[in-house]
């Protein structure tokens, strides 16, 4: 899996590390990790609904921060949870522009093995960095 | 684990980290704990509590309660009071779950009365009080009505028939904090919250049926004054907050503050989760007014849940909630910032007191207490882990040493990721049932994360708050039924 949950980094919250060969892969991995905190098996989520996301930011880490918040937003506002994320990121001058399509369906306690709710993405030790192999991020989610 | 170098023990239960510990600390930090608790203290706490001490306008000390553990920015169990004129307000000092709190409700039933109906009660409560990921409440209100809820809190609910007048008197701030301004909250926050009134949420949020055994009454007089009068009396305790609405308000202002903090106000911080703005600035005041909306949403949430609980008991026992004596003891929050007045070096000053995972605990006679509790001090409701027990405490005069704040729970010691690996939800459910605790949960993995050993020993924590003079032990409750979010 392109992400791992970290045992000793956060006590009451959940920390994960995500990796990708490029920014798109990193963002998809982080999105899956965030969803996987809430739903045990992502394969249980059918791609019945589609939502389009547009975000821009000068900072790559804030771009990821805002991107992950979209997942939390749809979970509360429309009870939607996603299993597929198509992400495109391009740089225009100082701006990162992200366009994404989320595919998923309404939460259903009988159908999805739900775990815990994510309240927020925190900026505590939040980090996006370029490595030799691509990109890595550390994220702590408030539970 | 060793207590870090530089931490000084100044009494049995007070540990001080002097301001020389870290550059830019404006005040020392104080941790209230017994030696036993201190030796097991989450190391992140020392780092975080001293980071908080660098914030502008901080008064006296940063305080840490015995249930403290590492959080984001501030530690959980942290208390920081800033001068309202020269200090800052920080969402990280309040938490994403604004006004997360505890409500305690009495019954005149005993364990023997409830035992034959326990499963029916818990099953029906589980059905009627939605819990878990993305749950929706039964109240179908428009976004416009939700804005009224933000402005009026539990008062809105009681006016709509969800509760008793008396409930408001027994809620901190009478269930409605003045100054909440719906125009200061984003559309996204409204979208996330308006269908969630009356829902528990998940994580460590729960609703419990508990028993006050005679051997667990530590102060007969205070217990009586708080309504615990019958041997083996059954009570209901629940823990939840302002749901997606509060989380979004905090997230929105965290970003607003990050944009202006250094550029506009020249404030440098050690962790982005300490993002803040001068309390006396447009951004600071906007956040204060929006955050109060979160406070009101949370009172409304707990009020509607109480209404549902009363309905369930009425149905199961075929008697009115009034006849069943289902009066509230109190509703108190542990994730807030409030303007309070204190005498600092002979001068009365207005302070913005941040409590994150710390409960306000007013001593007897203080302003802000309802008439019925003027003589006793404030009831303080502390939720333990679902396997062990919970407490009712009372505020005391010596609470002045922590701006009248005490613990809020057991305090976690084990990460969720680790607990999920160590415990198995289905087995835990069965073991708890064998021990007389009937549990319904929206998630077995979520249940495993809340296993008793993932928390500090609640009895140790409460003993520490008593010894330190932050609050007084009144009653311990044991769980018999639990709805886990």
Q: Beta-strand (E) ranges in A43-133?
A: 49-57, 80-92, 95-106, 120-131
Domain enclosing residue A106, as ranges: 3-142
Q: What stretch of H or E contains B107?
A: strand B101-110
pLDDT tier, A82 (very low <50, low <70, confident <90, very high otherwise): very high
Task: Give me the sign of the Cα torsion angle B119, B124, B126, B129.
Answer: negative
Burial class (CB in 10 A: 0-12, 13-18, 19+), B81: buried
**In the predicted model, what is the mean pLDDT of residues B131-148?**
93
Structure tokens at B192: 């996330």
Q: Is the pLDDT assigned to residue B327 strictly greater than 90?
A: yes
Number of domains in chain A: 1
* Paired residues of A52 in beta bridges: A101
Of B318, B355, B320, nearest in space to B336 by CA: B355
C-alpha to C-alpha distance for B18 and B26, rounded to whole angstroms: 10
C-alpha to C-alpha distance for B424 and B432, rounded to whole angstroms: 12
- Mean pLDDT value across chain A: 95
Contact status of A75 with chain B (Cβ, < 8 Å):
yes
Quick: pLDDT tens for B237-247.
Answer: 999 999 999 99
**In the predicted model, what is the mean pLDDT of residues B76-96?**
97
C-alpha to C-alpha distance for B341 and B74, rounded to whole angstroms: 23
* Per-residue burial over B290-315, b = 16 or more CB atoms within 10 Å of its CB, e = otherwise: bbbbbbbbbbbbbbbbbbbbbebbbe
C-alpha to C-alpha distance for A92 and A35, rounded to whole angstroms: 29
- CATH number where A127 lies: 3.55.10.10
pLDDT score of A53: 97
Burial class (CB in 10 A: 0-12, 13-18, 19+), B19: middle
SS3 B415: coil
**In the predicted model, what is the mean pLDDT of residues B264-292?**
96
Contact status of B259 with chain A (Cβ, < 8 Å):
no
Inter-chain residue contact A107 with B244, CB threshold 8 Å: no
Query: Which of chain A's residues have a Cβ under 8 Å away from the Cβ of B95?
Result: 142
Among A residues 96-125, those touching chain B with beta carbons less than 8 Å apart: 107, 109, 113-117, 119-125
Q: Which residue has the tokens 């963002």?
A: A27
Quick: pLDDT tens for A21-36.
Answer: 999 999 999 999 999 9
Contact status of A143 with chain B (Cβ, < 8 Å):
yes
Quick: pLDDT tens for B366-379.
Answer: 999 999 999 999 99
Q: Is the pLDDT assigned to residue B136 strictly greater than 80?
A: yes
- What crossing angle do the helices spanning B118-128 and B282-317 adopt, rounded to 10°? 140
**In the predicted model, what is the mean pLDDT of residues B304-312?**
98
Q: Is the pLDDT assigned to residue A1 strictly greater than 80?
A: no
pLDDT tier, A10 (very low <50, low <70, confident <90, very high otherwise): confident
pLDDT score of B38: 96
pLDDT score of B101: 98
- In chain A, how many H helices and how many E strands? 2, 7
- What pTM does this model have? 0.96
What is the separation, in whole angstroms, between the first and last Cα of chain B?
Answer: 32
**In the predicted model, what is the mean pLDDT of residues B274-280?**
97
Of B356, B359, B352, B354, nearest in space to B333 by CA: B359
**In the predicted model, what is the mean pLDDT of residues B250-255?**
96
pLDDT score of B479: 97
Quick: pLDDT tens for B193-226.
Answer: 999 999 999 999 999 999 999 999 999 999 999 9
* Residue from the list A38, A62, A77 with its beta carbon closest to the beta carbon of B191: A77
**In the predicted model, what is the mean pLDDT of residues B35-61?**
96
pLDDT score of A63: 98
Q: Say if CB B233 and CB B392 are below 8 A apart.
A: no
Q: Could you tell me which residues come within 8 angstroms of residue A92 by beta carbon, excluding any fewer than 6 positions away?
A: none
- Mean pLDDT value across chain B: 96
Structure tokens at B431: 């073991």
Residues of B involved in catalysis: 408
Of B37, B26, B4, nearest in space to B468 by CA: B37
Supply φ then ψ for residue A88, to 5 degrees.
Answer: -130, 130
The two beta strands, B335-344 and B347-356, are antiparallel
Inter-chain residue contact A79 with B254, CB threshold 8 Å: no
Contact status of B43 with chain A (Cβ, < 8 Å):
no
Q: Is the pLDDT assigned to residue B146 strictly greater than 90?
A: yes
Q: Which residue has the tokens 């005069």?
A: B397
Structure tokens at B383: 């939720």
Of B288, B356, B383, nearest in space to B97 by CA: B356
Domain-by-domain residue ranges, chain B? Answer: 8-84+99-484
Inter-chain residue contact A119 with B69, CB threshold 8 Å: no
* Paired residues of B64 in beta bridges: B31, B78
Query: Which of chain B's residues have a Cβ under 8 Å away from the Cβ of A107?
Result: 133-134
Q: What stretch of H or E contains B317?
A: helix B282-317
Inter-chain residue contact B192 with A10, CB threshold 8 Å: no
Q: Is the pLDDT assigned to residue B65 strictly greater than 80?
A: yes
Q: What residue spans of B53-153 are helical by DSSP H? A: 111-114, 118-128, 143-152
**In the predicted model, what is the mean pLDDT of residues B470-478?**
98
Q: Say if CB B246 and CB B97 are below 8 A apart.
A: yes
Q: What residue spans of B368-437 are helical by DSSP H? A: 416-422, 425-434
DSSP state letters, B61-86: -EEEEEEEE--SSSPEEEEEEEETTT
**In the predicted model, what is the mean pLDDT of residues A82-99?**
96
* Residue from the list A81, A114, A140 with its beta carbon closest to the beta carbon of B442: A114
**In the predicted model, what is the mean pLDDT of residues A74-87?**
97
pLDDT tier, A11 (very low <50, low <70, confident <90, very high otherwise): confident
pLDDT score of B9: 97
* Residue from the list A39, A120, A125 with its beta carbon closest to the beta carbon of B96: A120
pLDDT score of A7: 87
Inter-chain residue contact B247 with A72, CB threshold 8 Å: yes
CATH superfamily of B8-84+99-484: tRNA-splicing ligase RtcB (3.90.1860.10)
Give B191 to chain A, closest Cα distance, Å. Answer: 5
Contact status of B389 with chain A (Cβ, < 8 Å):
no
What percent of chain B has a predicted confidence (pLDDT) above 70? 100
Among B residues 403-462, those touching chain A with beta carbons less than 8 Å apart: 412-418, 421, 442-443, 445-446, 449
Query: Which of chain A's residues have a Cβ under 8 Å away from the Cβ of B251?
Result: 69, 120-121
Q: Is the pLDDT assigned to residue B270 strictly greater than 90?
A: no
The two beta strands, B405-406 and B359-360, are antiparallel
């Amino acid at each position: 899996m392109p992400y791992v949950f970290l045992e000793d980094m956060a006590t009451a919250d959940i920390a994960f590390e995500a990796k990708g060969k490029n920014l798109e892969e990193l963002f998809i991995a982080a999105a899956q990790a965030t969803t996987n905190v809430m739903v045990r098996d992502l394969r249980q989520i059918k791609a019945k609904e589609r939502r389009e996301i547009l975000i821009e930011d000068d900072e790559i880490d804030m771009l990821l921060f805002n991107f992950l918040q979209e997942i939390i937003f749809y979970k509360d506002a429309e009870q939607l949870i996603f299993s597929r994320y198509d992400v495109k990121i391009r740089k225009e001058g100082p701006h990162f522009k992200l366009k994404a399509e989320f595919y998923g369906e309404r939460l259903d306690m009988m159908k999805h093995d739900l775990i815990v709710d994510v309240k927020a993405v925190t900026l505590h030790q939040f980090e996006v960095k370029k490595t030799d192999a691509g990109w890595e991020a550390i994220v702590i989610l408030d539970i | 684990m060793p207590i870090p170098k530089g931490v000084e023990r100044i009494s049995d239960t007070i540990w001080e980290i002097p301001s020389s510990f870290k550059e830019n600390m404006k005040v020392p930090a104080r941790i209230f704990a017994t030696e036993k608790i201190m030796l097991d203290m989450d190391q992140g706490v020392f780092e975080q509590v001293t980071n908080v001490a660098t914030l502008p306008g901080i008064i006296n000390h940063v305080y840490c309660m015995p249930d403290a553990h590492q959080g984001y920015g501030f530690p959980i169990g942290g208390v920081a009071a800033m001068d309202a004129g020269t200090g800052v307000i920080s969402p990280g000092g309040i938490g994403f779950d604004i006004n997360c709190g505890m409500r305690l409700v009495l019954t005149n039933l005993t364990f023997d009365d409830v035992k034959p109906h326990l499963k029916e009660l818990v099953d029906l409560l589980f059905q009627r009080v939605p819990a878990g990921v993305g749950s929706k409440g039964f109240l179908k209100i428009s976004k416009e009505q939700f804005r009224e809820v933000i402005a009026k809190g539990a008062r809105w609910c009681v006016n709509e028939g969800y509760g008793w007048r008396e409930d408001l008197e027994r809620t901190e701030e009478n269930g409605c904090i003045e100054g909440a301004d719906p125009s200061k909250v984003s559309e996204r926050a409204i979208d996330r919250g308006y269908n969630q009134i009356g829902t528990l949420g998940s994580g460590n949020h729960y609703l419990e049926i508990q028993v006050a055994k005679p051997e667990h009454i530590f102060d007969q007089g205070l217990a009586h004054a708080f309504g615990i009068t019958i041997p083996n009396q059954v009570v209901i305790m629940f823990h939840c907050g302002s749901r997606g609405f509060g989380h979004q308000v905090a997230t929105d202002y965290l970003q607003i503050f990050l944009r202006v903090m250094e550029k506009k106000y020249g404030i440098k911080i050690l962790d982005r989760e300490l993002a803040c703005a001068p309390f006396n600035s447009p951004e600071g005041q906007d956040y204060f007014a929006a955050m109060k909306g979160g406070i009101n949403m949370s009172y409304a949430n707990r009020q509607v849940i109480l209404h549902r609980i009363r309905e369930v008991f009425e149905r199961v026992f075929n008697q009115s909630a009034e006849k069943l004596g289902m009066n509230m003891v109190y509703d108190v929050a542990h994730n807030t910032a409030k303007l309070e007045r204190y005498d600092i070096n002979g001068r009365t000053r207005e302070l913005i007191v941040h409590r994150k995972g710390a409960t306000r605990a007013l001593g007897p006679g203080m302003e802000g207490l309802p008439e019925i509790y003027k003589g006793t001090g404030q009831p303080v409701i502390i939720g333990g882990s679902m396997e062990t027990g919970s407490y009712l405490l009372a505020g005391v005069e010596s609470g002045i040493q922590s701006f009248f704040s005490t613990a809020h729970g057991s305090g976690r010691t084990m990460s969720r990721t680790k607990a999920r690996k160590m415990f198995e939800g289905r087995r835990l459910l069965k073991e708890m049932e064998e021990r007389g605790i009937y549990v319904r949960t929206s998630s077995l993995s979520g249940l495993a994360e809340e296993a008793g050993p993932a928390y500090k020993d609640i009895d140790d924590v409460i003993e520490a708050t008593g010894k330190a003079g932050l609050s007084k032990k009144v009653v311990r409750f044991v769980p018999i039924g639990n709805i886990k979010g």
